[in-house]
Amino acid sequence: MIGVRLIRANPELLRPMLKTFDWVVNRTILPASLVVLIFGILLVLEGQYKFEQTFVIVGILGAVSTIVIGTGFLSPRMRKQEEIWDEHGDPSEIATRALSRTMLIARIDLVVLFVVIGTMVFKPIL
């Protein structure tokens, strides 16, 4: 979401911000996601919840998928974006298309995260 606003407001800021995002994600968000997943599983093991409940399944699958998307797709694509910018220049069509694909993956990851949060808050019974 911040990336989209940066593109509209000042595209020159996007390149340094992408480096910052990559650094922040790998050093804070990824470890926090792993901690949330671990403590979520421990809560099910020690608490009143069961692994068969819908919100637990959605939460675990969502947490795992956001970790996989972040480490498997977003971080490598952000590094690749830097290489594309170096090779083709910031305003090139190739760099713009690559950035659009990266932003699409980031949006999908964000939707998955919101679904997980909503499921954890409302705990639907399906």
Using one digit for the tens of pLDDT, what is the confidence trace for 74-105?
889 888 988 888 888 777 788 888 888 888 98
Query: pTM for the complete prediction?
Result: 0.78
Q: Pick 90 or 21 by higher pLDDT.
A: 21
Per the structure, the count of domains in the chain is: 1
Provide the token pair at 53.
């409940």
Q: Pick 79 or 15 by higher pLDDT.
A: 79
Residue 93 to residue 11: CA distance in whole angstroms: 14
Q: What percent of the chain lies above the pLDDT cut of 70? A: 90
Residue 7: the pLDDT is 63
Residue 110 to residue 69: CA distance in whole angstroms: 10
Residue 58: the pLDDT is 92
Residue 62 to residue 72: CA distance in whole angstroms: 15
Q: What is the pLDDT of residues 24-77, one digit of tens each?
A: 888 888 888 899 899 999 999 999 999 999 899 999 999 999 999 988 998 898
CB 73 within 8 A of CB 108: no
Residue 36 CB burial class (10 angstroms; 0-12, 13-18, ≥19)? middle
**In which domain, by residue range, is 108 found?**
2-122
